[in-house]
Amino acid sequence: MTILIQNGTVVSATGSYQADVLIDGETIAAVVAPGDTSLGTDLAASAEQVFDAQGKYVIPGGVDVHTHMELPFGGTFASDTFETGTRAAAWGGTTTIIDFAVQKYGERVQDSLAAWHAKADGECAIDYGFHQIIGGVDDDSLKAMDELVDEGITSFKLFMAYPGVFYSDDGQVLRAMQTAANNGATIMMHAENGIAIDVLVQQALAAGNTDPRFHGLTRPWETEAEATNRAIMLAKMTGTPLYIVHMSAKQAVKVLQEARDDAWNVYGETCPQYLYLSLEDHLSQPGFEGAKWVCSTPLRSKAEEHQKELWRYLRTNDLSIVSTDHCPFCMKEQKELGLGDFSKIPNGIGSVEHRMDLIFQGVVDGEITLERWVEITATTPARMFGLYPRKGIIAPGSDADVVIYDPAGRTEIGIHKKHHMNMDHAAWEGFDIDGHVDTVLSRGKVVIDNDEYLGSKGHGQYLKRGMNQYLV
């Protein structure tokens, strides 16, 4: 099927321009000046379907490189399946996710990856890939890292937190980084000092401090900054590219900035919750309400201006990507597992549907440029994780993952408004966005149009990824 998107403003990481976009089947066939006839035909007359994007932006579909569908955590599972989570992503203009296959201590890496393939196969509305969590670094898992690179799993996540579940000590981190340095993979790091955090948590509970806000108070910024520095030093010793996930503390990003200024291959990601939400306004809600916003790393104090500084670091490219860390849990029977003990609240916020809108609001508010919006939500994620130029750009030969975005539209987020994630609450309740996702195409298939879902599970394909294309 041929589709023409005409009269729109195509936005890339390097600029914006008026152009028509011709789609043939699953890929973009041409990007031409409006009304151009150099292809020997009147495109508007010959295309099987035409979208008029006058006054609207035509952007590459969003690439969210940090999601957790069906993640097992704290005796329960993230409430979004690959079916419901990818459908919600499509509603928000995201057309590719990279989820995390989870190896816990004592499990075979290959078995954990097979389990995630089984969860996702035939279920996804949009394209997807996997990172691999290494929860038990030993000779077998290190060997598996080499094998998985050949299968298109080119990034591996380690944890400096969660002792007894995912935690790796410095020696294990070093060995995994050495392996990645040899096979070309990128190491992703959850950088928090989990040993120190566990002490603070036990002290808080012993003192009777059980409310959700103590989740944040027992994970102070120092635990993030210290672990970030340690991870960077280990990466420098081994020469492996390092990607720090869900950065929330300005002091931690300062450490990252200094390493990047020395031209090290270290990169940082933040998430919408750290740009907009706070310890004071959300995590400290009365009673148990703050449990909605329990996540790790935690929401930081707005009085300390972490949010302001993270926007600044996005402008300077010290933070390279905005992902979601989408890991939703319902309040009923899930978050409520932590009633009377904040340490038992499942960690996670649902955001996969709202990332593109929330970061566009940053454009409206003057925090970032229009081009930077596309860069940090689509182009750089695709480059960082080996999907470019198939994903992340409007260009001939690229997959026809395209979003028509109306800057004059409005998006009201709320459980009874725009909300398609499998949750019984909205972490972004009451947010009103100056922009609207009008039309979404995934590999040439219209999956969202005029507030109607036209997609289907099973359309999404598994993506075998290449190496990091974002290295110095």
User: pLDDT digit string (tens) for 369-408?
Assistant: 999 999 999 999 999 999 999 999 999 999 999 999 999 9
- Per-residue pLDDT for 36 more than 90? no
The conformation of residue 421, written as its DSSP 8-state character, comes to S
In a domain, 392, yes or no: no
Q: Could you tell me where the beta strands, DSSP code E, fall in 25-154? A: 27-32, 49-52, 57-60, 62-67, 72-73, 76-77, 94-103, 127-134
Q: Are residues 90 and 7 in the same domain?
A: no
In a domain, 290, yes or no: yes
Instruction: Report how far residue 449's alpha carbon sits from residue 43's, in angstroms, rounded to the nearest whole number.
Output: 21
Q: Are 340 and 210 in contact (CB under 8 A)?
A: yes
Q: Are residues 270 and 401 in the same domain?
A: no
Could you please report the per-residue DSSP string of 130-174?
Answer: EEEEESS-SHHHHHHHHHHHTTT--EEEEESS-TTTTB--HHHHH
CA torsion, points 196, 201, 207, 211, in degrees to nearest 10?
A: 150
| Domain containing residue 29: CATH number | 2.30.40.10
Q: Which helix (H) or strand (E) holds 259?
A: helix 250-261
Q: Are 64 and 93 in contact (CB under 8 A)?
A: no
Q: Are 240 and 180 in contact (CB under 8 A)?
A: yes
Select from 359, 384, 409 the last residue of a domain.
Answer: 384
- Per-residue pLDDT for 282 more than 80? yes
In a domain, 471, yes or no: no
Q: Are residues 177 and 261 in the same domain?
A: yes
Q: Give the model's pLDDT for residue 19.
A: 97
Q: Are residues 184 and 254 in the same domain?
A: yes
In a domain, 465, yes or no: no
The conformation of residue 270, written as its DSSP 8-state character, comes to E
Question: Could you tell me the residue range of the domain that residue 34 belongs to?
Answer: 2-59+397-453
- Per-residue pLDDT for 38 more than 80? no
In a domain, 119, yes or no: yes
Mean pLDDT of all residues belonging to the chain: 96
What is each CA distance from 345 to 39, 144, 279, 341, 351, in whole angstroms?
Answer: 58, 32, 16, 7, 18
pLDDT tens figures, 165-184:
899 999 999 999 999 999 99
Select from 354, 384, 414 the last residue of a domain.
Answer: 384
pLDDT tens figures, 90-114:
999 999 999 999 998 788 999 999 9
Q: Give the model's pLDDT for residue 107.
A: 87
Q: Which helix (H) or strand (E) holds 20?
A: strand 15-24
Q: Are 357 and 438 in contact (CB under 8 A)?
A: no
Q: Are residues 42 and 81 in the same domain?
A: no
Q: Indicate the residue type of 16.
A: S
Cβ atoms < 10 Å from Cβ of 422: 17
pLDDT tens figures, 44-64:
888 999 999 999 999 999 999
In a domain, 302, yes or no: yes
Q: Could you tell me where the beta strands, DSSP code E, fall in 220-270? A: 242-244, 266-270
Q: Are residues 186 and 211 in the same domain?
A: yes
Q: Is the dihedral of CA 235, 241, 246, 250 positive or negative?
A: positive
Instruction: Report how far residue 438's alpha carbon sits from residue 409's, in angstroms, rounded to the nearest whole number.
Output: 9
Token code pair at residue 363: 């454009």
Token code pair at residue 199: 């002490």
Quote the percentage of the chain above a pLDDT of 90.
95
Number of domains in the chain: 2
Q: Are residues 53 and 161 in the same domain?
A: no
Each residue of 200-232: b (16+ CB within 10 Å) or e?
A: bbeebbeeeebbbbbbbbbbbbebbbbbbbbbb
Instruction: Report how far residue 257's alpha carbon sits from residue 253's, in angstroms, rounded to the nearest whole number.
Output: 6
Which distant-in-sequence residues (6+ apart) come within 8 Å of 250 by Cβ? 221, 304, 305, 306, 309, 310, 313
Q: Indicate the residue type of 154.
A: T
Q: Are residues 217 and 72 in the same domain?
A: yes
Q: Give the model's pLDDT for residue 472.
A: 60
Q: Indicate the residue type of 351.
A: S
Instruction: Report how far residue 269's alpha carbon sits from residue 245's, in angstroms, rounded to the nearest whole number.
Output: 5
Q: Which helix (H) or strand (E) holds 361?
A: helix 355-364
CA-based end-to-end distance of the chain: 40
In a domain, 134, yes or no: yes
- Per-residue pLDDT for 300 more than 70? yes
Q: Give the model's pLDDT for residue 42.
A: 85
Q: Are residues 210 and 255 in the same domain?
A: yes
| Domain containing residue 351: CATH number | 3.20.20.140
Select from 384, 413, 440 the last residue of a domain.
Answer: 384
Instruction: Report how far residue 53's alpha carbon sits from residue 392's, in angstroms, rounded to the nearest whole number.
Output: 19
Q: Are residues 250 and 124 in the same domain?
A: yes
The conformation of residue 347, written as its DSSP 8-state character, comes to P
The conformation of residue 126, written as its DSSP 8-state character, comes to S
Tokens 């790796």 map to which residue?
Answer: 168
In a domain, 462, yes or no: no
pLDDT tens figures, 431-469:
999 999 999 999 999 999 999 999 999 999 999 999 999
Q: Are residues 280 and 351 in the same domain?
A: yes
Q: Are residues 226 and 139 in the same domain?
A: yes
